[in-house]
Structures are given as structure tokens and as C-alpha cells.
Amino acid sequence: MDAATIGLIAFGAVLFLLAMRVPIAFSLASVATVGTFFIFAFRTGTFMPERAIRATTSMVFSNSFDLIHSYDLSMIPLFVALGHIAYRADITTKIYHAAKVWLTRLPGGVAMASVMGCGGFSAITGSSIACASTMGRICTPEMLRMGYDPRLATASVAAGGTLGSLIPPSVLFIIYGIFTETSISSLFLAGVLPGLLTLAGFILVIAIWVWRSPEIAPPTDVRYSSKERFRAAMESWPAVMLFVLIIGGIYGGIFTATEAAAVCVVAATLIGFAQGKLNLKGLWDAVKETCIQTSAIFFIAAGAKIFVAFIALTNVAPMIVNVVSDAQLSVVVLMLAIAVIYLVLGMFLDPIGIMVLTLPLMIPLVESYDLNLIWFGVVVIKLLEIGLITPPVGLNVFVIANVVGKDAPIDKIFAGITRFLSVDVIVLALIMSFPMISLLIPLGAR
């Protein structure tokens, strides 16, 4: 049996195990481990189990350990901790109260504000997972408390989290820039308009959804006096201060985005203590909650990482790209084929893994068609972002499910997400058809 066949069987096996309720992390890791063992065991034609055990275990260990043993990813537990601490210190409740008071007459207004908050948070972090786990922790419980339908309260944040990589800074654009030798700053600028377009699309989805089924959002007939509005705005100062601290610190050259997470955790804790809203017990519980959630999230990510290494061994990705490249397609059909490839891979693999596996072959192909690599980068990142919210392996959805718990099982979140996915497809079509949406700002900056 050749490696590519093992790879295709593995995709099927993952689907089957997921359907059979095997936890996502275990499905990915166990299939990858067994599949890798078979590839190494039969590499030389004869069955060599001892060598295969050594190579297989070495590979699964180094890939999972390296993922966790990371400086940059320390921002994820820290931002999740920030969410928990800010919740217990009443910081998130106050800013949500202000949003409710000010947006009370706008149907679904707080959900829209949450998605815009995701857009704002994207300007701080380069990672969609960090964006979803932080905003999921902050926004979703507050929206549920206000009476939002769980589907809307979860799906809007899972989708909003995907702005994390489109709006700069962005880890995915950095990796794309390294693989294509294109300017990372141009890529960052190119992501701005598509990111804002996506944001506008998500807000539109909420507006239409709430307009057609008003029961999914809280009623809009409550009136607040201007005194109440003023008070609500004033009381939200800790959240505003944290926001100013993050933006000012990063863009003022005082700390990096990773460091911002730590500084904010410390600042939120101090604010909570000073206001008497947080005590040591509350802090301790918040951090323990953080640990339970991030360990489960990271374990899925580690399973996905191991699966990517296994898929690399199978050479499935070059096989797929070669089929497209040999077919001598017209530009339009080529782009459609590329979109399909990335969407299918996005069903199973994480964004960085997909880039590492496909870009070395995809970029020469795209160059042979004389396409603009900056624009193509935006298309690829948009496709990868969509993959974060498509079933069966949608990392952003898992992150939200993990944070929210039994109020929103993942199939409910996926059900809510279909509406956001449809607008994503429209935005994708616009980005693909009109390269100017991506290139306007980078060209203007020159």
C-alpha cells in the first residue's frame, strides 16, 4: 500500500471516528500515530516494526511538544485568563451593560458590537485561535445572560474570531510572506479592506437574522434615560483603560502583542483588587478555569499538528496540487480549483499546516499564471479562515464550544455558523473577482 493511499484512508478514518463520538483530539492523534507507523513500517518494502516505533513516537512527541513549548502561544492562556479575570472583576459586565444601554434600540446590537469587538481584538493579536478563545470567553457568556439565543451568541464570536488573521498583525500573513518572499507589510495592508468587508458582512448577517427571527435577540423596547446612558459609559472605564493600554503599548513600542497579554492580566487583576470586585479566591478560580480550558484547546491543536506531519509523509498534498497543475486550467477554473482544495483541506487541517504543506507547490503554479502574489495571499488567508469554522474540524468552533459548555454543543454552533459561512463565500468571491479590494491600500501606501 503506498503512502498516498494510507493518507486518503486516514481522512476517512478521522471522519468515521468523529462521527462515532471519539473526542476530536484523540481522533486526530490516534489516526496520525497509527498511519505514521504503517508508513514507516513499510517504507523499505519489508515490515520493520522496531524502527517504525522509534520514528513514529519521535515524530508525535516532537510535534506535540513543540506546539506547547512555545513563547508566542503563551498569549493564549494569558488572554483566556484575562477573559476570566475581567469577567469576575465585573469589567466585561460593565462594558456589556454600556453596550446594551447604548444599543438597546438596535435589534441584535450587542451581538454586532461583539463582532466589532472581535475586529478590534484582531488588531492586537495575530492568531485567530487567540481571538476566538479570548472573545468567546468575554462575549458569549454576557450575551447568553442578556437573553441571546446560544446559536447567535456562539456563532457570531466563532465567525468574528476568524478576523484575527485577516486584520493585521497576522501570523498567517507572516508565514505566507516568508514562503513567497513577498513584503509582509504589504500583505498586512492588503488584509485590511477584506477584513473590514468581512466584518461588515457579519454585521449584516446578524441584522438580517434578527430581523427575520426577532426572538433570538433580547427585546428592543426597553428605554434608558440619558443619565443612565452616561452612567453606563462612565462605569465601563476599566475595559476602556485595558484597551488603551494594549493599543498604546503595542503601537507605542513599549511591548509586543504577546507581552500585551501578560501586562493586561496583571492590570485587570490590579483593577479588580482595587475596586474590591476580585479577591484571591476569585483570581485562583479564574486561573484554574483557564487551565482546564486551555489544556483541552491545546490538546486538539497538538492532535492537529501531529496529523499535519503525518499528511506530509503521505505526500497527499503534492499529489492534489499536481493534478491541478497538470490539467492546464484557465485562470478562472484554476482559482476555483484552488478554492476547493483549500476548503477541503480546511475541513481537516489547521491553517499553518495547510500552508506548510501546499505553498511550496502552489506558489510556482500561481506564478506560472502570472497572478499577483499579494492578492493571492489574501485569497489563501481568507480560505484558511473559512476552514476554521467549517465542519468537521473547525478549530474556532471547538474553542467556543470549550469555553461555553453545555449551552452550546458544537453542532448547534455549526448550525448557527452556516449563515456566516454564506456571507464568507460572497466576500471570498468579491476578493477573488476584484483584486483591487486587496491591492488598493498597499498600492496607495507606496
Partner 1 sequence: ETVLIHGEAGPNRGARANALQWFADQVAERSSGDLRMDIQWGGALFKANAAVQSLADGVADTGSVIAVYYPQEMAAYGIADLPVNNPDAWVGMRATDELMRTNEAVAENLAEKNLVYIGTWTTSQVNIGCKGDAIRSVADIEGKKVRGVGAYGKVFGEAGANMVNMSIYDAYQGLDTGLIDCSQGYSYAVSALKQAEVMDNYTMLNWGQVGGVGIFMNKDMFDSLTAEQQEVLTTTGADMADEFGRMITIANDKAIASMKEQGVEIIELPDAERAKLVEGGQKFLAAWVETAEASGLPGDKMLEDYAALIAKYTQERDTNGYPWAQSGN
Partner 2 sequence: MLVPLEKILLGLGAIAVILLGVLITTNVVARAVFSSSVPDSVTMVRELMVAAILLPLGAATANRAHISVAFISDQFGPRLRSWLIVIGSVMGLIALAALLYAGTREFLSVWEKGSFFYGDLNLPKWPGRLLFIIGIGACWLRLAELAIRDTRTILSGGIVSDEQNHTIDALAEKEVL
Enumerate residues 49-88 that contact partner 1 by CB under 8 A. Answer: 51, 54-55, 57-59, 62-63, 65-66
- Asked whether 302 and 67 are in contact (CB, 8 A), the reply is yes
H or E element in which residue 114 lies = helix 109-122
Contacts of 288 (CB under 8 A, 6+ apart): none
Please tell me the distance from the alpha carbon of residue 202 to that of residue 217, in angstroms, as a whole number. Answer: 16
**Does 254 participate in binding partner 1 (rule CB under 8 A)?**
yes
Which region among 14-22, 105-113, 163-171, 317-325 touches Na ion (by CB under 5 A)?
Answer: 163-171
68 interface partner picked from partner 1, partner 2, Na ion, none, CB below 5 to 8 A per type? partner 2
Closest CA to 341 of 304, 386, 309, 301: 386
Query: Residue 175, Cα to own-chain centre: how many angstroms?
Result: 16
Chosen from Na ion, partner 1, partner 2, none, partner binding at 128 (C-beta under 5 to 8 Å by type):
none
Eight-class DSSP state of 406: G
CB 311 within 8 A of CB 349: yes
Q: Is 128 in the site for Na ion (CB under 5 A)?
A: no
Q: Mind giving me the DSSP string for 331-362?
A: HHHHHHHHHHHHHHHHHHS-HHHHHHHHHHHH
405 interface partner picked from partner 1, Na ion, partner 2, none, CB below 5 to 8 A per type: partner 2
User: Do 377 and 173 form a contact (C-beta atoms < 8 A)?
Assistant: yes
**Secondary structure letter of residue 220 according to DSSP:** S
What does 394 interact with, of Na ion, partner 2, partner 1, none (CB < 5 to 8 A by kind)? Na ion
Least separation in angstroms between residue 183's CB and Na ion is 17
Give me the least distance between CB of 126 and Na ion, in Å please. 5
The residues in 291-310 that bind partner 1, with binding defined as CB under 8 A, are: 308-309
Residue 392 vs 435, nearer CB to Na ion:
392
- Among 159, 172, 324, 355, contact with partner 1 (rule: CB under 8 A): 355
Cα–Cα distance between 446 and 444 in angstroms, integer?
5
Backbone angles phi and psi of 23, in degrees to 5? -50, 145
Q: What is the closest distance, in whole angstroms, from the C-beta atom of residue 289 to partner 2 in the complex?
A: 6
Q: Give contact residues for Na ion (rule: CB under 5 A).
A: 122, 164, 167, 170, 346-347, 387, 390, 393-394
Q: Give contact residues for partner 1 (rule: CB under 8 A).
A: 40, 51, 54-55, 57-59, 62-63, 65-66, 169, 174-175, 178-181, 183-185, 250-256, 308-309, 312-313, 315, 353, 355-357, 359-360
